[in-house]
A and B are shown apart, each in its own frame.
Chain A
Amino acid sequence: MGNAAVTVRNLWAKYVGSGDWVLRGVNLEVREGEMLVLMGPSGCGKSTLLKVLAGLLPWVIPGTVEGEVLVAGVDVLRYGYKGLAGKVGVVYQNPEVQVVTRSVFEELAMAPENLGLPKEEVRARVESVAKALGLEDYLFKDPQSLSGGEKQLVAIASVLTMRPRVLLLDEPTSMLDHLGTRLVLDLITQLKREYGLTIVAAEHRVEWAVEVADRVAVMSDGAVVLEGSPSEVFSKVEEVQKYGVRPPGVSEVAYNLVRMGFPIRIPVRLSEMEEVLGGG
């Protein structure tokens, strides 16, 4: 892994009118090409952290932010979202509010057009992203005719055309059904594995996260309380549950086995449970 793509030091943040600090001394580092998944109960601060990383709080959403935040080499607290243009892509929960144009092509072309790129370059980027994601057949469709999952794919594709160095995802599947969730998670997996994009995602689908994430950070009350590889974090079943996070099913089963007296290591992936079960 390369240099730091995201550095957060002693970050405190609150909204106008929220009174208390919502983030209380967050420290994080994400290296280039790494994927970090943020987990934690509602109100733990993961969404607020993403808003700060995206340069929205306090630039668009009024509030107070203190500390140090570097994203893709940009001092975010100094330059805000404008300083991140073309470098950072953000995708939110609700695809309905992000997809605004009349065709998928226009949707994908919007960000590079806003960056002032020449027409040919815009077209080339749209076509290459559409090809890479298998969206060619969608290009001239009306986004409103697509399913929730397909809209979310378009929302992700539409930030990829600006070739961001860092992708921020705020619970991109929480409003989708199983089909939509599969589409979106497969795409994020592809972006991570084939294109090596740096990704910071709040996402609660833990059984997917343990397969793809390099690191997991569990947040509680505005701070990172557990951090490490998926195995390091989720093998602490009791602690994870205490913070209101669902552990992977295999970890829960293994935890019960340990309590019954079986001296096994707690796996986090289904394939690792195979080793415990043995053949047959």
Chain B
Amino acid sequence: MIVFEKVSYQYPRGPLAIRDVTLEIKKGEFVGVIGHSGAGKTTMAKLAVGLLKPTKGRVLVEGMDTAKTPVSELARKVGYVYQNPDMMLFASSILEEVSFALRNLGYPESEIEERVLRALRAVDLNKPLSASPHALSFGEKHRLAIACVLAVEPDYIILDEPTTGLDYYRCLLLFEVLRKLHQAGRTVIVITHDLDLLARFSTRVIVLERGAVIRDGKPREVLGDVEFLSEHGFVPTHLLQLARRTGSEDLTPEGVARAVAARLIGRQASA
């Protein structure tokens, strides 16, 4: 479990980015975090992995207080994928890139290659291990960055706006990879602006505004509340609006279509 206990964070000589946040993320969840620029999403992610320490309150990762635990220890439990994969990639080959953290954490050589291959398989990246990370496409770099984090096999994986710069097809591919990780028992926390993808894949949605959690619940409760979304500056998609209109609890195109079908059949029957 990741626990935020009355957490606030103020950047040195900067704004109060997180205000008195209390929440728990349990193992096995697929959490979506939404919020406008400056709402505190990235700050919250960095607090959860121990890259930032709370100025007030405590963050506990599997019971370990992030303020008192070395980042290397936390890295075995929580992985963080930066928004821009170029921020993470530096090595001259895929093998070197993915094994870097494992070497730092002191894994034996015999185990490293096995873990690298497993991580690359999980993200469906089928490139030679000797290939340069810089020769990959943007989408492939993204999946490589995720593989680097996965190789450590953390229980929790946090992704910061992984869909930026990806087209629709590549977004779907990426979320399919996340779904597989989730099904394999990992806890996935993803920051994104894409409400339809969260409606389809997540099990919980947290809404941040000016550093505070203003809504936290199941996707159909949060994303299904189109008035709430509009009031807070989000653009409710067709799917969310139609789900609301038809009372569909399922927010996928198939689910909403079934709800529309039920109405059409009902109307025929009463006519």
Contacts and interface: CB of A to CB of B under 8 A. Distances in A.
Chain B interface SS verdict (over half):
helix
B261 interface: yes
A257 interface: yes
Contacts of A260: 257, 261
Interface string B234-250: 11011111100110000
B235 A181 contact: yes
B261 A277 contact: no
Contacts of B238: 207, 248-250, 253, 270, 273
Interface in B144-167: 164-167
Contacts of B256: 249, 253
B68 interface: no
Given A177-B36, A178-B234, A252 B239 contact: yes
Contact of A253 (B36, B166, B234, B257): B257
Interface string B166-177: 111110000000
Contacts of B254: 256
B166 A273 contact: no
Contacts of B138: 42
Interface of A: 40-43, 147-148, 174-175, 177-182, 204, 207, 244-246, 248-250, 252-257, 260, 262, 270, 273, 276-278
For the complex of A and B, the 4 pairs showing the least CB-CB separation, nearest first, are A249-B238, A256-B257, A249-B239, A244-B169
Given A244-B168, A249-B240, A253-B242, 5 more contacts: A147-B37, A178-B193, A207-B238, A244-B167, A253-B238
Interface of B: 36-38, 137-139, 164-170, 193, 196, 233-235, 237-242, 245-246, 253-254, 256-258, 260-261, 263-264, 267
30 contacts: A40-B167, A41-B168, A41-B169, A42-B137, A42-B166, A174-B164, A177-B36, A177-B193, A178-B193, A179-B36, A182-B235, A204-B168, A207-B237, A244-B167, A244-B168, A248-B238, A249-B238, A249-B256, A250-B238, A253-B242, A253-B257, A254-B257, A256-B254, A257-B257, A257-B260, A260-B261, A273-B242, A276-B260, A277-B246, A277-B263
